């Protein structure tokens, strides 16, 4: 069973991780404040999956995005809203070296597949209903 995390559970883990994660790490070599294609510099062997934002019994997660104002998908300050795309497809990963948290999902399908990653910033997590 995957460990389902809602907005408040994710915020709690993120705050704990932020209190211990200081200084540079392998995982901070490429800034991941906003969504990014997974950088080659990132050693995924140092990431451990600790949970998911995917709701277990939802076969078709929404493609709606929550981007108030002039924010777009790539904005480093776009809110992290677990019910909305692409957060509703993400698993939560933790760097075993520094404890930082990351969200990862696979964008596209068929011939176009891109693995995306974004760092979790507790201040950006918002529990907005669909």
Question: Least Å distance between CB 58 and Zn ion?
Answer: 30
Report long-range pairs for 42-50 (Cβ below 8 Å, ≥24 apart).
42/117, 46/95, 46/96, 46/97, 47/93, 47/94, 47/95, 47/96, 47/102, 48/93, 48/94, 48/96, 49/91, 49/92, 49/93, 50/3, 50/13, 50/92, 50/93, 50/94, 50/101
Positions in 22-81 near Zn ion (CB under 5 A):
25, 27
The pair of three-digit structure tokens given for residue 7, joined into one six-digit string: 């907005």
Can residue 7 be called a binding residue for Zn ion (CB under 5 A)? no
Segment near Zn ion (CB under 5 A), from 11-19, 67-75, 77-85, 89-97? 89-97
Segment near Zn ion (CB under 5 A), from 8-16, 19-27, 54-62, 107-115? 19-27
Can residue 98 be called a binding residue for Zn ion (CB under 5 A)? yes
Q: Please, which residue, 30 or 106, has the CB nearer to Zn ion?
A: 30
Greatest alpha-carbon pair distance for the chain in Å reads 40
Segment near Zn ion (CB under 5 A), from 66-74, 81-89, 97-105, 113-121? 97-105
Applying CB under 5 A, the residues found at the interface with Zn ion are 25, 27, 95, 97-98, 100
């Amino acid at each position: 069973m995957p460990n389902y995390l809602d907005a408040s559970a994710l915020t709690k883990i993120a705050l704990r991780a932020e209190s211990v994660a200081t200084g540079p790490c392998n995982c901070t070599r490429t800034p991941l404040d906003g969504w990014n294609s997974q950088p080659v510099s990132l050693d995924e062997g140092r990431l451990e999956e600790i949970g998911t934002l995917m709701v277990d019994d939802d076969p078709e997660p929404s493609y709606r995005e929550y981007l108030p104002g002039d924010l777009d998908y790539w904005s480093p300050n776009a809110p992290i809203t677990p019910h909305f795309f692409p957060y509703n497809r993400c698993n939560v990963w933790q760097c075993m070296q520094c404890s930082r948290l990351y969200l990862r999902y696979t964008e596209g399908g068929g011939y176009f597949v891109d693995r995306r990653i974004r760092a979790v910033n507790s201040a950006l997590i918002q529990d907005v209903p669909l």
